[in-house]
Structure 1
Amino acid sequence: MLFGVRPDQIEVVVHPQSVIHSMVQFEDGSVKAQLGMPDMRLPIQYAFSYPYRIKSSFERIDFTKCTNLTFEQPDTKRFRNLALAYEAMNKGGNMPCIVNAANEVVVAAFLRDEIGFLQMSDVIEQTMCKVSYINQPDYDDYVATDAEARRIAAGLI
């Protein structure tokens, strides 16, 4: 459970305009969102600097030009990694660690032009099947899982 949030409490939506980078809905129905230009530098900076804010020269959002914000249900056949992530969260144990490690390996391989975009999900899924599953891992299990998943994913590329 990440941040005390169960998998059934996480809803992913596709936001084509890429202005809203994250949203959280609270018990009372209110929503807090992180909005900005369609550029991930600011959300990443905030993740690294939280709870502080760092002055930046990033382009500012002009809300008068943001007249249409839309949301869609994700197609998990098209976005296979999302389906794999939900599968890992629901299974629990060390499975999210396996998915994370395999994802980091395939993204690095993709950026080096060693693997095609559509092959990335295949490698992650195969890694999920090949790495030893541990229902209640401890810290050492996570370290070993990460290493095993990276080795297996790299071998599948």
Structure 2
Amino acid sequence: GVTYDQIQVVVHPQSIVHSMVQYRDGTVMAQLGCTDMRLPIQYALTYPERVESRFPRVDFYELGKLTFEKPDMDTFRGLKLAFEAGKTGGTMPCVMNAANEVAVEAFLKGKAGFLKIYDLIENAMNKAEVVYNPTLEQLLEADKWAREITRQELSKL
């Protein structure tokens, strides 16, 4: 397995590189494609097959260069919360995901500001009682609980 300390997230302004893995020998394998996340999702869902697609092809001459930057965890609060949820383990990633889905839906409907998304996620994570090595039933219960607690917080806005 891979530990969270082995995961390095980078900001990639061109949005061409969707994932990279660096192996023990230092070589890197990357998944590159157009700036549409549906393509890497299609790849993940259809692997090892290759499916014909209508996505635009990357023109590397036009693109010119690829750049990468270290993310500021204060600017990218969601990333910081995701690492915290992952490192905590158990039901916490489920809680984070459920709270995120409710918060993003509220933002898209104009019921909460963008930055409020992270406050809502953090609130649910702070109140959660983590179950380690959860059963499917416990994961579903954590999901339901996080959605309810996030909706309650939204009703106070």
Asked if Structure 1 and Structure 2 have the same fold, meaning a TM-score greater than 0.5 normalized by the shorter chain, the answer is: yes
Is 1:152 matched with 2:149? yes
Structure 1's unaligned 5+ residue stretches are none
- Greater mean alpha carbon deviation, residues 80-89 or residues 41-50: 41-50
Distance 2:35 2:63 in 1: 11
Report the Cα offset of residue 22 of structure 1: 0.9
Structure 2's unaligned 5+ residue stretches are none
Distance 1:83 1:134 in 2: 21
Distance 1:26 1:156 in 2: 44
The one of 9, 12, 17 equivalent to 1:12 is 9
> Equivalent residue for 1:105?
102
Distance 1:101 1:155 in 2: 13
The one of 135, 138, 142 equivalent to 2:135 is 138
> Equivalent residue for 1:88?
85
Mapping for residues 53-132 of structure 1, pairs under 5 Å: 53-132=50-129
Q: Over aligned residues, Cα RMSD in angstroms?
A: 1.3
Question: Given that residues 131 and 152 in structure 1 are in contact (C-alpha distance below 8 angstroms), is that contact kept between their aligned partners in structure 2?
Answer: no
SS, match of residue 148 in structure 1: helix
Distance 1:79 1:49 in 2: 31
Report the Cα offset of residue 64 of structure 1: 1.4
How many residues are aligned here? 154
1:89-143: CA deviation from partner (whole Å, max 9, x where unpaired): 1111211111111111112222222221110000000000122221332222111
Distance 2:34 2:152 in 1: 38
| AA at the equivalent of 2:100 | N
| AA at the equivalent of 2:101 | E
Is 1:39 matched with 2:39? no
| Normalised TM-score (structure 2) | 0.91
Report the Cα offset of residue 20 of structure 1: 0.5
Question: Given that residues 36 and 61 in structure 1 are in contact (C-alpha distance below 8 angstroms), is that contact kept between their aligned partners in structure 2?
Answer: yes
In percent, how many aligned pairs have the same letter? 53
1:61-98: CA deviation from partner (whole Å, max 9, x where unpaired): 11112221111110110100111111111111211111
